[in-house]
A and B are shown apart, each in its own frame.
Chain A
Amino acid sequence: MKLSRRLFLAGLSAASCGLPSEEGPASPDFPLGVASGDADADGALVWTRYDGRDAVQLEWWKRDDPTTLRTQPLTPRDGGFCITALEGLEPGTWWSFAFSTSSARSDEGHFRTALADDALEPLRFGASSCSRQNYPLTPFLRAASEVQCDAFLMLGDTVYADGADDLPSYREKWNEALARRPNRLLRASTSLVSTWDDHEIINDASGDRLDPARVAAARQATFEHQPWRADGQMPQRLWRSLRWGRTAELFVLDCRSERNHATGEYLSRAQLDWLKAGLANSPATFKLILNSVPITAYPGAFFQAFAADRWEGFPAQRTEILDFIDSTPIDGVLWLTGDFHMGVAGRTARDGVGARQLEIAVGPAGNFPNPSLSYPAGPQFDFATALNNFTTLELDPASRTVRVQFFDGGSRTLFDRTYPL
C-alpha cells in the first residue's frame, strides 16, 4: 500500500495517542492491548483482540523510523482474535506495530526481530511466571518500564483459569488476566516466548488424567491469547524452538498435556527425542530450555511432598535428559522454570547426574509465596525468594556467561550473579 503524506501524518498523530494510558487501553475496541511473540530473524507474530465490527488494519514500522510505515488489512478470527505473522523484516532490529480501524486505534507494541542466523552478540531476556489475576503485578510494570528486554519469557501460569471448563469460560479467564494494565504494558513492550503450565488448564493438570475436551478448550483459548507459532504439521503442538543467531536457542517444552503416567512419560517420546536432538545439533552458544515445572531435585519433606507433579515424579525421563546433557556433553544449557511461587537459582542436583546443570526458577510475578517452612540454600542453591519478582538473563557469548538478576516490583535488586555456562 502506498503511503500518502496525509495518511502518514494521521498515523503519527494516532500513534501518539495510541500509547497505553494510565488505566485503560488506548481504545475499548482493543481491550486487551497488543502483543507479539515467537520472533525469528525474519519477523514475529503480532496479536490483539478486536471487539468491534469494522475492518481492521495492521500497521508496522521500524521503531526509530516512522517513514517505514506499512499497513495490511486483517480479518479477525472467531472471538475477534487477530494473529498474524509479520515477515520479511530485518534481523536484530526493533519494530513497532498497532491495529486500527476507521474509528479506533490499539495500543502500540514493540518487538525485536531475532538475530541473523550467524550473528553472535549479547542478548538480554526477561522472564517470569505465575501471574494470578487478583494479585498486584508490579514486577511486570517495572519490567515494562525500566528494562529493555530483547524478548520476555513466560514460564507458564500466565492465567489462573481454574474453574473454567469450556471455551467461553477459558476465554473469560484470559480476558480477566490480560485486560490488566501490567499485562498490557509488558506484552506491548517486547516479544514473548511462552509456554503453559497447569493453571492454563486446571491445578496440577496432567493431560492423561483430564477430560480431553477440557484440555482442547484450554489449548484453544491459550493459542488464541498467546502469540505462538503453530507447527505446520501438528498445529496443536506447543513445543517448539526459536533461534537468536548463534547466541541462543530457546527450547519451549509442553510439560503438561503430553504426560503419560502409565508409561512414565513426563514428555511424549517424540518431544523428548526432539529436545535431545535439538540440544545436540544446536549451533547456539546458549541453549535455554523453557520448562514450566522444575527439573531440579529438591531435598526435604516439604518439597518431596509434591514431587510427583514434576520431573522427579518421572525419574527415568529426568535422568535420561540430564544424563544426556552431562555425558554428550552439551555446553551452555540453562534450564528455566516457574510454577513454584519461588524464584530460585541453583543446580538441578546436589551431586551425580545434573549436578553441573543450572536451573533458574522465575516468578512469581504476582502470587502468594511458596508455603514451605524452609527455602533452598547452599551448597546446591545460591538464592531463593518468595517475593514477587521478574528475572533478567544477560547472555554474553564472548565470555560464555549468563548474568542472572532478580528484581522485585519496587526498586530492589534481589540477586545478581554471573554464571559460566
Chain B
Amino acid sequence: MSPSVVALAVSLCLSQSAAAPAPVEAVSTARTAAWVASAVGLLGASAAVSVVAGSRPHSWLVESSGRPVPLVTTAGFALGLGLNFAITHLLLPELVALGDSPTALGSAEAARAEAWKRSRWALLGAGVGLVGMTVGAGLEQAEFGSGQGLMLAGLLVVLVGAIVFDVLEATGAWQGYLASRRAP
C-alpha cells in the first residue's frame, strides 16, 4: 500500500469526527467508503498512467539507441507529473458527489478549491524538483558525472512532492466537500 493511500485513509477516519458540526447529517459510512475506494482507485490509476507515460521517453531511447538522454528523461518526468496533476486535480474533486444524499449535497468546486489550497505547495515543491532535475540533466549532458547528484536530488523531490500532492488533494477535496454540504 502506498504512503499516499495510508495517509488518505487515516485522514478520512479523522475527518469523520471532525465533520460533526456540519449543518446537515453526516455522510454515511457506506458513502464514505465508496468515495474512499473511488479516490484510492483514481490515485492508483493516475500514478500508473503517469509513471508509464513519464518513463516512456527514457525507455524508448534506451531500447532504440541503447542509451538515455538525460534532458529527455527529465522531460518524461515533467510529462508524468503533469499527467498526475491533471488527472488528480480535475477528476478527484468530482468523485465527492459519491457522498451526496437526498438530504445533503456538496460542491465539487468547493472540494477542488480546498484541495488546491492545500496541495499547491506540494506541486510547487515537485516543480522545484523538476527544475533541479533539468539543471542536473543539462550539466550531465555537458559532462558525464557532473549532474547526476542534482538529477537524483531533484528526482527525489519530484517523487515526494507528487505523493504529498496526491494526499493533500484527496484530503483537501474531502474536507472542502464536507464544509460545503447543504440541504438541497
- Are both chains from one complex? yes
A interface residues, Cβ below 8 angstroms from B:
298-303, 369, 372-378, 380-381, 384-387, 414
A/B interface sample: 21 pairs, CB < 8 A: A299-B145, A299-B146, A299-B148, A300-B140, A300-B148, A301-B152, A302-B151, A303-B148, A373-B58, A373-B68, A373-B73, A373-B151, A374-B73, A374-B147, A374-B151, A375-B67, A375-B68, A375-B144, A386-B66, A387-B66, A414-B66
Query: Is A381 a contact partner of B148 (Cβ separation < 8 A)?
Result: no
In angstroms, Cα B143 to Cα A377, docked, is 8
B48 to chain A, nearest CB (A): 19
> A301 to chain B: which residues have CB within 8 Å?
148-149, 151-152
In angstroms, Cα B145 to Cα A380, docked, is 11
In the complex, whether B20 has a CB less than 8 A from a CB of chain A is: no
In the complex, whether B125 has a CB less than 8 A from a CB of chain A is: no
Q: Chain B 47-63 against A: per-residue CB contact (8 Å), 1 yes, 0 no? A: 00000000000100011
Query: Is A386 a contact partner of B151 (Cβ separation < 8 A)?
Result: no
A369 in contact with B62 given A374-B68, A374-B151, A386-B67 (CB within 8 Å): yes
Residue of B nearest to A304 (CB): B148
In the complex, whether B70 has a CB less than 8 A from a CB of chain A is: yes
A378 in contact with B62 given A300-B149, A301-B149, A373-B73 (CB within 8 Å): no
Residue of A nearest to B143 (CB): A377
Partner of A385, one of B66, B70, B149: B66
In angstroms, Cα B141 to Cα A378, docked, is 10
In angstroms, Cα B91 to Cα A93, docked, is 72
> A378 to chain B: which residues have CB within 8 Å?
144
Q: Identify 9 new A-B residue pairs, CB closer than 8 A, beyond the known A303-B148, A372-B68, A373-B151.
A: A301-B151, A373-B58, A373-B137, A374-B148, A374-B151, A375-B67, A385-B67, A386-B67, A414-B66
In angstroms, Cα B147 to Cα A398, docked, is 42
In angstroms, Cα B152 to Cα A414, docked, is 29
A374 in contact with B70 given A300-B145, A380-B144 (CB within 8 Å): yes
Residue of A nearest to B77 (CB): A373
- Most chain B CB within a 10 A radius of its CB, from A300, A302, A387: A300
Residue of A nearest to B153 (CB): A301
> B67 to chain A: which residues have CB within 8 Å?
375, 384-386
Partner of B140, one of A369, A374, A385: A374
Q: Chain B 152-169 against A: per-residue CB contact (8 Å), 1 yes, 0 no? A: 100100000000000000
Query: Is A376 a contact partner of B152 (Cβ separation < 8 A)?
Result: no
In angstroms, Cα B152 to Cα A67, docked, is 65
A144 to chain B, nearest CB (A): 22
Query: Is B148 a contact partner of A302 (Cβ separation < 8 A)?
Result: yes
> A375 to chain B: which residues have CB within 8 Å?
67-68, 144
> Within residues 49 to 102 of chain B, which ones have a CB less than 8 A from any CB in chain A?
58, 62-63, 66-68, 70, 73
Q: Chain B 128-142 against A: per-residue CB contact (8 Å), 1 yes, 0 no? A: 000000000100100
Residue of A nearest to B150 (CB): A301
Residue of B nearest to A299 (CB): B145
In angstroms, Cα B53 to Cα A213, docked, is 46
> A387 to chain B: which residues have CB within 8 Å?
63, 66
> B151 to chain A: which residues have CB within 8 Å?
301-302, 373-374
> Within residues 19 to 52 of chain B, which ones have a CB less than 8 A from any CB in chain A?
none
> A303 to chain B: which residues have CB within 8 Å?
145, 148
> A302 to chain B: which residues have CB within 8 Å?
148, 151-152
- Most chain A CB within a 10 A radius of its CB, from B62, B149, B152: B62
> B145 to chain A: which residues have CB within 8 Å?
298-300, 303
Query: Is B58 a contact partner of A374 (Cβ separation < 8 A)?
Result: no
In angstroms, Cα B146 to Cα A179, docked, is 44
Partner of A377, one of B58, B62, B66, B144: B144
Query: Is A299 a contact partner of B66 (Cβ separation < 8 A)?
Result: no
B24 to chain A, nearest CB (A): 51
A307 to chain B, nearest CB (A): 12
Going nearest first, the 4 A-B pairs with the smallest beta carbon separation are A299-B145, A300-B148, A385-B66, A300-B145
Query: Is B66 a contact partner of A376 (Cβ separation < 8 A)?
Result: no
A213 to chain B, nearest CB (A): 38
Partner of B144, one of A369, A376, A385: A376
In angstroms, Cα B66 to Cα A302, docked, is 17
In angstroms, Cα B151 to Cα A62, docked, is 58
In angstroms, Cα B66 to Cα A385, docked, is 5
Query: Is B68 a contact partner of A381 (Cβ separation < 8 A)?
Result: no
In angstroms, Cα B153 to Cα A300, docked, is 12
A341 to chain B, nearest CB (A): 11
> A381 to chain B: which residues have CB within 8 Å?
144
Partner of A300, one of B68, B137, B144: B144
> A300 to chain B: which residues have CB within 8 Å?
140, 144-149
> B68 to chain A: which residues have CB within 8 Å?
372-375
In angstroms, Cα B152 to Cα A372, docked, is 10
